[in-house]
Amino acid sequence: MSDVKVTKSRLKELERSEAVLNALEAAGVDNWGGYCDALDEIRKADDIEDLIINTLDSISDAVGDNIDVECEEFGNIVTISSEGDDALEDIIRELLVKYTNLKEEE
């Protein structure tokens, strides 16, 4: 994972936003009837991001030793073994099921 750099001014903005959220929640805004609805889009985006990251990790694990890259004059040729190909099909199938389930929750 790469290092993340944040400017001092951006850090100050983030700390201020956190303080505002904490103050609102302490005052009971999280008990507001629409609070969960308002955060639903953020949760959905987080779920999709998690799904993408987990899928990429699974792909990396599946193709690890099952991939061969050859450098050719006009580009690279990538060959995946049948075991790696089967694993990728399973991962993509699982991804589609999970994504469909997330969309149905909307």
In the chain, domain spans? 36-105
Sign, CA torsion 71/72/76/77: negative
Structure tokens at 3: 């290092």
The pLDDT of residue 93 is: 83
| pLDDT tens digits in sequence order for the chain, 106 residues long | 568 888 999 999 999 999 999 999 999 988 888 888 888 888 888 888 888 788 777 777 776 766 665 666 666 666 767 777 777 778 888 888 887 877 777 6
The pLDDT of residue 52 is: 79
Q: What are phi and psi of 71, to 5 degrees?
A: -85, 125
Structure tokens at 46: 């987080």
What is this structure's pTM? 0.49
Q: How far is residue 55's CA from residue 31's CA, in Å, rounded to a whole number?
A: 35
Structure tokens at 17: 């936003």
